[in-house]
Chain A
Amino acid sequence: MRRYSMFAVAREALRYHAGWERAWRSPEPKKRYDVVVVGAGGHGLATAYYLGKVHGITNVAVIEKGWLGGGNTGRNTTIIRSNYLQDASAAIFEKALQLYEGLSQDLNYNVMFSPRGLLMLAQSEHEMRGYKRTVYANALQGVQTEWISRERVKELVPIINLDGPRYPVLGALYQERGGTARHDAVAWGYARGCSAMGMDIIQQCEVTGIRTVNGKVQGIDTTKGAIDCGKLAMVVAGHSGVLAEMAGFRLPLESVALQAWVSEPIKPVIDVVVMANLVHCYISQSDKGELVLGGGIDHCNNYTQRGSWYTLEETTRALVETYPVVSRLKMLRQWGGIVDITGDHSPIISKTPVEGIFVDCGWGTGGFKAIPGSGWAMAELVAKGHSPLAEGFGLNRFREGRFIDESVAAGVAH
């Protein structure tokens, strides 16, 4: 891998940019790998990357049925924050945020991490109390976050309508270190890092079956032939249930569409990220000037990557109430991703009933912000069979009633 640097740009400028190489190789699959990761989204690629970088396991393939980063990694609103209520979540999301802070340097790839500050509006007494509780919990966990007044909210977000026809803004939970990153660059950067360590990233390769012998994984069948593996990491978000079915077990997940959309580009109007969980809308402005907008999940199972008009309408209503300028904007694009929701709205990073198969799923509506931390924990779990960060997120928590209940803590989506 040739490193990107100012000197590389200068060198290429002098020779018609003919020397840039492809960021990652696209090889044919080998017969066998030590670890096969299914799913070349952010979480899958980060898992492979830290397997190589931290644990020295580089005989790894990352299998992807579509194109790299084409699932939820390329379909979210790129929000990054770590001020979660529960200890286990705060730990893994804080790890992720810390890794994001140094990710561009680590990967030698500009992921455009932008710690522009993130607000979660409190628009009811209940939310206000909830967020103040989060501030105290985060102080104990060593996660920086603060409660700010409605006047401070107006200073940070001049376009906001504080009085709102339905729910006035009472204040906000504010994390100054939160922000956004370029979602594609995160996937591409990790892919480049994996490829440089000799890992194979195989796109357009769908898993059609999982082979097990005596409750132990042997390999997978794909549209590009059979591949044997020592260990199998399933990191496929909304399609986790489909893969689990192939391996002969079920997961406590429901796959639902979550959508996002962007407006036409305009001059800078908002330089922070704002989430409003009660009326349910998210807003930030991309570097191109588009407002990046999102809302809640649909209320039924859905595998279509579209999302319903009903949710689109509800969220737009909330946006127009909260930020009246939005009513004048044309929308450019809308899309949906298939998110996997668990009973307690917390992820699953776990061993499974089949020996050698590991799952990293259930990130639901909040997966992008977790990518580096999730990959870190999953890699440790696959390599060593145990990870302190993943400890609370095992599959057995549903049977034992040890929930990490972020659905209560985060209002709805997170």
Chain B
Amino acid sequence: MIGDLLIQGGQMLVVLALAPLVTGVVRKLKARLYRKRGASVIQPYRDLARLFRKEAVVAEGASWLFRAAPYLIFAMTWVAAALVPTFASGLLFSWSADLIAITALLGSARFFLALAGMDVGTPFGGLGSSREMMISSLAEPAMIMLVFCLALVAGSTQLSTVAEVMLSGVGLRVSLALALIGLMIVAVAENARIPVDNPSTHLELTMVHEAMVLEYSGRHLALIELSAQLKLLLYISLIACVFAPWGIAPVGAGLAHMPLGIAAYLGKLAIGAVLLAVFEASLAKMRVFRVPDFLGAALMLGLLGTLLLFVSRGL
């Protein structure tokens, strides 16, 4: 029990501590791919420290929602990130570490972010919120479909169980390959990366995520940035946990397993960051109205994967 509590606590701290680093590494890699030197990988930590020190300027006419939203968003994203097994699967909250719960937590966080974007009444906030809602209305069904596909293979939507089933060997399955591609598409869209959104743009008219948070400053902005970084880490961890669960300390494993688990986890994060950076550097952003096609592909992959599983097992 105490061991589980330690692991759970450690996991929560690890994701929080590593999230800015992953973003920093992705930025650094992208800069290197563009033949630039790039900022240090710890720059996101410095940015967060700077933002936390700064005064938060709140627009006139902003309601309580605008002030409360950053805390809500951060709390929900952090809890969601804490539910994904990273280096050990014996989490105290394991009973609740359900893929559907994670999807719901992220969905709620986004709901508040979109509301906050519209709260101040600037045109960019509304523009960003409407685009975000369009994207999420396509990404969430795709995500749920992919969850079903995984659940059919593993017999559970609990991530610890999924990871263990995967580790025990389910063989190569077409459905899993489809689910992996689908999940990557959803991850790109959910994290506002190229080609769906551009995290480093200065063009107000093209922004999605950035447009919603344009009015935020100081600690509010810091919390939102940290949430975005946590979300990126969450998706990389999720994909790693389901499709590459090697090295994760199994339930009931002693502390001796932990170093291996942590090393494996760091390795997976590094691979995820490299893949993301290369993917982003080689693409232009797509037109806003192409995004449905892109996410539609994820939905279809999820659906196909689920159907194939039914067909192969028989009803």
A, B co-complexed: no
Instruction: Give chain B's interface residues, CB within 8 Å of chain A.
Output: none
Instruction: Give chain A's interface residues, CB within 8 Å of chain B.
Output: none
